[in-house]
Structure 1
Amino acid sequence: MHDYVIVDVFTTVALEGNPLAVFLNAADIPAARMQLIAREMNLSETTFVLPAQGDGDRRVRIFTPVNELPFAGHPVLGTAAVLGESTARSGLRLETAAGTIPVDLQYPSDGTVSARMRQPVPVWEPYRLRDDLLDALGIKSSTLPVDAYRNGPRHVYVGVGSEAALSRVQPDLRALARHPDMAAICFAGSGTRWRMRMFSPAYGVAEDAATGSAAGPLAVHLARYGLVPFGQQIEILQGVEMGRPSHMSARADATGQRPHTVEVSGSAVITAYGTLLV
């Protein structure tokens, strides 16, 4: 038997945000069984907490229903919130396959946990299947160049002209599934306020309510093309079309035009405790 926690991430309201299953004390679970458990939970991600192997406080493995990810945002932030809620620590260092992620924690009086994580700085390149991707999304053009960013998962950014147009996006998931190892990130907005949607049949997720690993690279993407300055915090709303509004803050700092620090923050609330019997 293994205990787990369900935590709603990037929200202060239970049953909103992006749900995550966190399996504590998972050192005796083989990787193949972790994948089966993640498929059983059928959330966008499930995490498994293990003893640290290096410079962190805990090691975390992250699984979608179909594959393991080296890093993902809402799983890291949500796992830190669950661990912090039981210890009241002001910070944790979580080891992932993409490196050790520092997470600062605060505990407001409303029962939520607030967290800020420093993400891996992404690398990027133009997405070579741009036209096929636009066709799969049903979008005629992008407001910015279509670039792919990798900070563990690979996110490909497509700008949409308005929030109303963003809400109307209905991708052809069969066509989108032919784009391997990527999530399509559609975004719209201006200034410091942005909306985002994520589609990734390649990662077993038709649409995601909150994609923390994509929030940081969005800040980089906007700054690279002059829509916000480096060092400016932006607010990102995702999950509206799914009925699970999620609120993220992101900031990318740079020397010149080269980012060196990417931070994403948000809140989380524990909603359920359970036990897996097998």
Structure 2
Amino acid sequence: MYGYVIADVFTDTALEGNPLAVVPDATGMSSACMQRIAREMNLSETTFVLPPTAGGDVRVRIFTPVGELPFAGHPTFGTAAVLATTAHPGVRGRELRMETGMGVVPFEFAGPPGGRVTTARMRQPIPVWQPYDRAAELLDALGLSSSTLPVEVYRNGPRHAFVGLPTVADLSALQVDHRALAAHEDLAANCFAPTGDPLVWRARMFSPAYGVVEDAGTGSAAGPLALHLGRHGRIPQGATITVHQGVEMGRPSTIRATATVVNGAVDRVEISGSAVVVAAGRLYV
């Protein structure tokens, strides 16, 4: 029997944001069982917390309904917030070092002295990027003829392709061919549009390849989006952007993201936001 928690991530309002299932102590659980539980939960991701093995405070494994990911933003971020909120023994004061398949990811937590955690900050793996060699096919699957910026793919665990649209209205009106999009293996299609404020952006993410029709809040994409916009001159290098996602799904999420460049090299990529626990229960497995 294992306990689990459901949290809504990138929001401070229950039943908004991106839901996540967390098993705070999965010691002794097999990989096959983790995968079956993730399929049972049927959320975009389910995480399993284990004792550390590489110098961190905890180790986390991340499963979608169809497979395991080495890293993803929403599940790692949400897991850290859950562990901090529930006073997990792995949390050291206001800090946590989480072992993932992409290395150790550090977190910092904020809130009133002696009170509950209200926000968290996460330093992400620095992505690598390149032009997407199937950009024309991707645009066709999204029902688009062009992108406002070059279609490039960033990898920081998941592989994110970025496609720009002129307006939020265009973004909301997208009609995606999910069958065609599923042919893009190991890829999430991230569509973004300006809001009028250069530091506030709207986004949508589609990834049949990862078992996600549409994601309400994609932390692993928010950091690379800040980098993408800075690289192409749409925001000042190092500026913090606010990304609103999940609006079309009725699950609004808010993510703040910063990509800092020093001497022409990416120095750090960070995201911050909130999460709220909405349910807890037991798995009889």
On whether the aligned pair clears a TM of 0.5, the verdict is yes
Structure 2 match to 1:106: 110
Matched, 1:93 2:97: yes
Structure 2 match to 1:275: 282
Structure 1 match to 2:223: 216
Are 1:111 and 1:269, in contact at CA under 8 Å, matched by a contact in 2? no
Code of the residue aligned with 1:36 in structure 2: it is R
TM-score (norm 2): 0.95
Distance 1:188 1:250 in 2: 15
Distance 2:265 2:152 in 1: 16
Matched, 1:200 2:207: yes
Matched, 1:168 2:168: no
Code of the residue aligned with 1:170 in structure 2: it is Q
Deviation readout 1:64-102 (Å, 9 max, x if unpaired) = 110111111111111111111122730100000001000
Which residue, out of 177, 191, 202, partners 2:198? 191
Are 1:158 and 1:185, in contact at CA under 8 Å, matched by a contact in 2? yes
Are 2:109 and 2:117, in contact at CA under 8 Å, matched by a contact in 1? no
Distance 2:20 2:75 in 1: 6
Are 1:105 and 1:116, in contact at CA under 8 Å, matched by a contact in 2? yes
Structure 2 match to 1:52: 52
Code of the residue aligned with 2:283 in structure 1: it is L
| 1:111 positional shift | 5.6
Structure 2 match to 1:244: 251
**Which is further off, 84-93 or 55-64?**
84-93
| 1:55 positional shift | 1.5
| Gap runs ≥5 in structure 1 | none
Deviation readout 1:173-203 (Å, 9 max, x if unpaired) = 0000000000000000151000000000000
User: Which SS does the other structure have where 2:86 is aligned?
Assistant: helix
Code of the residue aligned with 1:207 in structure 2: it is E
**What's the C-alpha RMSD, in Å, of the aligned pairs?**
1.3
**Which is further off, 23-32 or 139-148?**
23-32
Are 1:48 and 1:62, in contact at CA under 8 Å, matched by a contact in 2? yes
Code of the residue aligned with 1:18 in structure 2: it is N
Deviation readout 1:148-187 (Å, 9 max, x if unpaired) = 0000000000000100100001210000000000000000
**Which is further off, 85-94 or 141-150?**
85-94
Matched, 1:226 2:241: no
Structure 2 match to 1:153: 158
Are 2:11 and 2:275, in contact at CA under 8 Å, matched by a contact in 1? yes
Distance 1:274 1:31 in 2: 21
Distance 1:25 1:223 in 2: 39
Runs of 4+ in 1 over 6 A off after TM superposition: none
Distance 1:175 1:273 in 2: 37
TM-score (norm 1): 0.97
Are 1:224 and 1:257, in contact at CA under 8 Å, matched by a contact in 2? no
**Which is further off, 26-35 or 119-128?**
26-35
Code of the residue aligned with 1:30 in structure 2: it is S
Are 2:123 and 2:271, in contact at CA under 8 Å, matched by a contact in 1? yes
Structure 2 match to 1:118: 123
Between the two proteins, the alignment pairs up a number of residues equal to 278
Structure 1 match to 2:79: 79
**Are the structure 2 counterparts of residues 74 and 108 from structure 1 closer, same or farther at C-alpha, using a change threshold of 3 Å?**
farther
Are 2:182 and 2:209, in contact at CA under 8 Å, matched by a contact in 1? yes
| 1:112 positional shift | 5.7
Identity among equivalent positions (%) equals 60
Distance 1:184 1:258 in 2: 25
Which residue, out of 268, 271, 277, partners 1:264? 271
